[in-house]
Amino acid sequence: MLLVTSLIITSNGAWSASRKCDDSLVAPLPIKSFNSSSEYGRGYAAAFAKLNRIQGAGGWSPLDTNRYQWLQVDLGSRKQVVSIATQGRYRSSDWTSQYQLLYSDAANNWRPYLKDGNIWTFKGNNNSEDVVREELQHAIVARYIRFIPLHWSQKGRIGVRLELYGCSYWADVISFDGHSIISYRFRSKKMKTVKDVISLKFKTTARDGVLLYGEGQQGDYILLQLQRATMELSINLGSSQYNLIKGHTSVTSGSLLDDGHWHSVAIERYRRNINFTLDHQTQQFRTNGEFEHLDLDYEVN
């Protein structure tokens, strides 16, 4: 089974996003949306961990101060999270100076937030009242977020109040059973471009399958597929009639992509220069041959 969401195909840079995504996601949540590994006392419960909250003991603190503690927020539905802000516990010596984030769609199979391919450690607070906001290099799309304290106040305990900023995630999800396709039709019967952007998200438990394919009458084509759970991009901007110019180019990226988690793909092309990004890891390459236009028929599958 293959699931694909938020497929975006643009040519000549025509698409842009205009919707602002900076809503407070934690502030409106009810008490039942919060959970934690433990709590120091009734007034220190997870539900008191909202930014600027002064009720109860003014924030969350776990029973034990060690690296086995966590604070979990259920956003109610899948949200796009773009930044996080933290404080220490109100008028106390309790704060968190470094932390990590995990996320999940079902409160299991947790994934760590990565930056530049590494599990990222965020800088937190060095007192109880200042707000420290961290912008995410790439948005998290998930329903559940876990806050994992790594270092904390030497004068007190782990303590935190937090806010997540973002917006609702509205992308449609399309399910494929291995025998079905969906076509994307361009406005004109042919698309001949020097610049293209293609992006999508997918998850699957299948090791092999085609995600995207388009071809033209002059031999141009683009193919994005899974081969043994590895992503392969093949593209040809054209070959000469007598095979003096061979335009076929193929690159691979990633592994174990049949893990049932969402993965993101982006292909950005300008003439022969291509940025091929899988889960925020980018390969830059030039296509073979001498041609610079992608000349396709009026639809891709």
DSSP string covering 261-299: S-EEEEEEEETTEEEEEETTEEEEEE-SSS---EEEEEE
Indicate whether 229 belongs to any domain: yes
Pair 54, 118 in one domain: yes
Rg for the chain, CA atoms, rounded: 23
- Quick check: is 293 in a domain? yes
- Domain hosting residue 61, numbered range: 23-168
Same domain, residue pair 110 and 68? yes
pLDDT tens per residue, range 109-121:
899 999 877 899 9
Q: Given a cut of 90, is residue 19 above it in pLDDT?
A: no
- What pLDDT sits at residue 186? 54
Final residue before a domain boundary, out of 143, 168, 193: 168
Are 155 and 191 contained in the same domain? no
Q: Mean pLDDT over residues 40-54, rounded? A: 97
The per-residue pLDDT for 244 is: 54
Measured between alpha carbons, how far is 93 from 153 in angstroms, rounded to an integer? 7
147 occurs within a structural domain? yes
Q: Are residues 141 and 262 in the same domain?
A: no
Is residue 173 a part of any domain in this protein? Answer: no
Contact 17, 82 (CB under 8 A): no
Phi, psi of 227 (to 5 degrees): -130, 110
What is the rounded distance in angstroms from the CA atom of residue 207 to the CA atom of residue 35?
36
Indicate if 157 and 189 belong to the same structural domain.
no
- Say whether pLDDT at 35 is over 80: yes
Residue-wise pLDDT tens digits, 199-254: 888 888 889 988 888 887 677 888 999 999 999 999 988 776 555 557 788 999 99
- 57 shares its domain with 145: yes
pLDDT bin (cut points 50, 70, 90) of residue 191 is low
- The candidate with the shortest Cα–Cα distance to 281, out of 213, 227, 230, 222, is 230
- For residue 219, the model assigns a pLDDT of 77
Q: Is the dihedral of CA 246, 247, 250, 251 positive or negative?
A: positive
Q: 55 pLDDT exceeds 90?
A: yes
Structural domain count of the chain: 2
The CATH number of the domain holding residue 230 is: 2.60.120.200
Give a yes or no: residue 176 inside a domain: no
In a shared domain, residues 268 and 295: yes
Are 77 and 155 within one domain? Answer: yes
Q: How confident is the model at residue 197 (pLDDT cuts 50, 70, 90)?
A: confident
Kindly report the pTM of this predicted structure: 0.59
159 and 282 assigned to the same domain: no
pLDDT band at residue 271 under the 50/70/90 scheme: confident
Q: Indicate whether 190 belongs to any domain.
A: yes
57 assigned to some structural domain: yes
Answer whether 178's CB lies under 8 Å from 205's CB: no
- Sort 105 into a burial class: Cβ within 10 Å, 0-12 / 13-18 / 19+: middle
Residues 122 and 208 placed together within one structural domain of the fold: no
Distance CA 73, CA 78 (A): 12
What's the pLDDT score for residue 229?
93
**Overall average pLDDT of the 18-25 stretch:** 79
The reply to whether 227 and 282 lie within a common domain is: yes
> DSSP string spanning 146-171?
EEEEEEE-SSS---BEEEEEEEE---
For residue 176, what pLDDT band results from cuts at 50, 70 and 90? low
Which of 135, 168, 201 is where one domain is finished? 168
pLDDT at 16: 35
Is residue 13 assigned to a domain?
A: no
Indicate if 213 and 240 belong to the same structural domain. Answer: yes
Give pLDDT, residue 15: 34
